[in-house]
Amino acid sequence: MPMSNKELLEKIDTGSLAGGGLLNPEQAKEFFEMTFEATEFSKLHRKEQKTATTGELDKIAIGGRLLRKKTEGVDDNYRAGISTSKIEYSTVPVRLPWDISEDTLRKNIEREAFEDRVIRMMTTQTGIDAEDLHFNGDTSSSDPFLSINDGWIKQIKTGTGSHVVDCSGDSAFGKATLFKISRNMPNKYKSSKLKWIMSPTRRELWIEYLTSRPTAAGDAALLGAGDQVNQPLGYGIVTVPSLPDDIIILTNPENFIVVWTYDIRIRKTTEGREAIMQDKRFYVIHFDDDPVIQELDAVVLAYGIPETLATS
């Protein structure tokens, strides 16, 4: 049975922020499973746990049209080739610190259970913030949060081989927008595994567009059901709250990878000068990760999508 947040904390509570508090690989895996449960998309993308903070991921491809005609009793020395390459990663250390006053714990009706609830909230927020950074991170930003690392959006926009669609000149959003995005996806990647990744607001605009049409799809949209609503062009919709409303990404979620190391620390102390003088408990979550993309050619990103809805 997976450990609770409090059990994780108790197992590594050393009483000092200066030493200890390192989760073993299994505990680290359980912690990240808890954080990944916080958001819908984070349950779908690929995760890679590594021991080194920098390194490479293997990428293997076999190509297509590999079959050849067979001649009985003859070896023509043809062998299908395997193409291998590497994806570089470099994790960035981040932390989430907080404190709770002993007075708050004494006066709260939940008492010690209040501490566990706060830990659960912080673990959930870690997952929410991590997803935000994975998509929107930009090291050139002046924002102290976004500048931590480069996220998937920047990697797609600046990477070689990706497919970026500028919709800022479009007059309206509707089915034509999705067809335009899909046309930019190479045929070899088109399968039911593809997902439309968009903000909740953009999904609502899609539903609003459908409801305005006097068709069966419009009726289904009013009821919140139907493949036309939830699987346009046969690809499901996944919402990401932190994604900008003017962006839609089409890809297989497993094409997005989060690399992290098991060098995770969740530390707590009730001792030391600050804890005594301020009568507080201090907590910090330390970890490092890096969002990477396996195949840029298998991603289409559309930006500048208008809010105005098409009429047909």
- Is residue 45 located within the same domain as residue 106? yes
Report the domain count for the chain.
2
Q: What is Dmax (Cα atoms) for the chain?
A: 87
Beta bridge pairs of residue 267: 284
**Distance from C-alpha of 221 to C-alpha of 210, rounded to nearest angstrom:** 6
Whether 185 is covered by a domain: the verdict is yes
- Is residue 219 located within the same domain as residue 269? no
- Is residue 9 located within the same domain as residue 115? yes
- Is residue 184 located within the same domain as residue 137? no
Report the candidate in 161, 156, 118, 117 with the shortest Cα–Cα distance to residue 136. Answer: 156
- Kindly give the pairing relationship between strand 46-50 and strand 256-261: parallel
Whether 312 is covered by a domain: the verdict is no
This prediction has a pTM of 0.84
- Is residue 164 located within the same domain as residue 24? no
- Is residue 46 located within the same domain as residue 177? no
Q: Note down the domain range covering 118.
A: 5-62+82-147+263-294
- Is residue 140 located within the same domain as residue 216? no
CATH number at residue 219: 3.30.2320
In this structure, the number of other CB atoms found within 10 A of the CB of residue 137 comes to 23
- Is residue 115 located within the same domain as residue 218? no
Whether 76 is covered by a domain: the verdict is no
- Is residue 220 located within the same domain as residue 275? no
- Is residue 34 located within the same domain as residue 100? yes
- Is residue 122 located within the same domain as residue 231? no
pLDDT value of position 119: 82
Whether 170 is covered by a domain: the verdict is yes
Whether 57 is covered by a domain: the verdict is yes
- Is residue 51 located within the same domain as residue 178? no
pLDDT value of position 166: 98
Whether 72 is covered by a domain: the verdict is no
**pLDDT tens series, the chain, 312 aa:** 555 555 655 554 444 444 446 677 777 777 777 787 778 999 999 999 898 999 999 877 666 777 888 888 888 888 777 777 889 999 999 999 999 998 888 887 776 678 888 888 888 899 999 999 999 999 999 999 999 999 999 999 999 999 999 999 999 999 999 999 999 999 999 999 999 999 999 999 999 998 887 666 555 555 455 566 889 999 999 999 999 999 999 999 999 999 988 778 788 888 888 888 889 989 888 889 999 999 999 999 999 999 999 987
CATH number at residue 88: 3.30.2400
Whether 167 is covered by a domain: the verdict is yes
pLDDT value of position 173: 97
pLDDT value of position 35: 80
Whether 153 is covered by a domain: the verdict is no
